[in-house]
Amino acid sequence: MATNEVLAVRCRDVKKSFGQGSARVQALRGVNLEIQPGELVMIVGPSGCGKTTLISVIAGILDQDEGECRVYSEDLKGIGPRARTQYRGRHIGFVFQALNLVPTLSALENVTVPLLINGIHPREAIARSTEALAKVELVERKDSFPCELSGGQQQRVAIARALVHEPKLIVCDEPTSALDHETGRKVMKLMRDVVLSEDRTLLVVTHDARIFEFADRIARMDDGRIVELTVAGPKVDQSKGAFQ
Contact between 55 and another protein by CB under 8 A: the answer reads yes
d(CA 167, CA 90): 6
- Min dist CB 110 to another protein, Å, is 9
Evaluate whether 148 touches 138 at the Cβ level (below 8 Å).
Answer: no
Return the bridge partners of 95, or none: 172
Contacting range for another protein; rule: CB under 8 A; set: 23-31, 33-41, 56-64, 208-216: 56-64
Closer residue to another protein in complex, CB, 3/244: 244
DSSP β-ladder status, 225-231 and 40-44: unpaired
Among 117, 127, 149, 194, binds another protein (CB under 8 A): 117
Contact between 126 and another protein by CB under 8 A: the answer reads no
Distances (CA, A) of 135 to 34, 95, 152, 157: 29, 16, 15, 10
Contact between 88 and another protein by CB under 8 A: the answer reads yes
Closer residue to another protein in complex, CB, 136/164: 164
Closer residue to another protein in complex, CB, 120/232: 120
Contacting range for another protein; rule: CB under 8 A; set: 23-31, 116-124, 184-192, 219-227: 116-124
Q: Which segments of the chain does DSSP mark as H helices, in order?
A: 51-58, 81-91, 107-117, 122-135, 151-163, 181-190, 238-241
Contact between 71 and another protein by CB under 8 A: the answer reads no
Burial 3-24 (b: 16+ CB within 10 A, else e): eeeebbbbbeebbbbeeeeeee
Contact between 16 and another protein by CB under 8 A: the answer reads no
Contact between 187 and another protein by CB under 8 A: the answer reads no
DSSP β-ladder status, 217-222 and 40-44: parallel
Closer residue to another protein in complex, CB, 42/59: 59
d(CA 169, CA 178): 23
Of the candidates 136, 133, 113, 135, the residue with the CA atom closest to the CA atom of residue 125? 113
Evaluate whether 191 touches 17 at the Cβ level (below 8 Å).
Answer: no
Contact between 216 and another protein by CB under 8 A: the answer reads no
- Min dist CB 5 to another protein, Å, is 27
Contacting range for another protein; rule: CB under 8 A; set: 68-76, 99-107, 130-138, 233-241: 99-107
Binding residues vs another protein (CB under 8 A): 52, 55-56, 59, 61-62, 82, 85-90, 92, 94, 96-98, 100, 102, 104-105, 109, 112-114, 116-118, 122, 173-174, 177
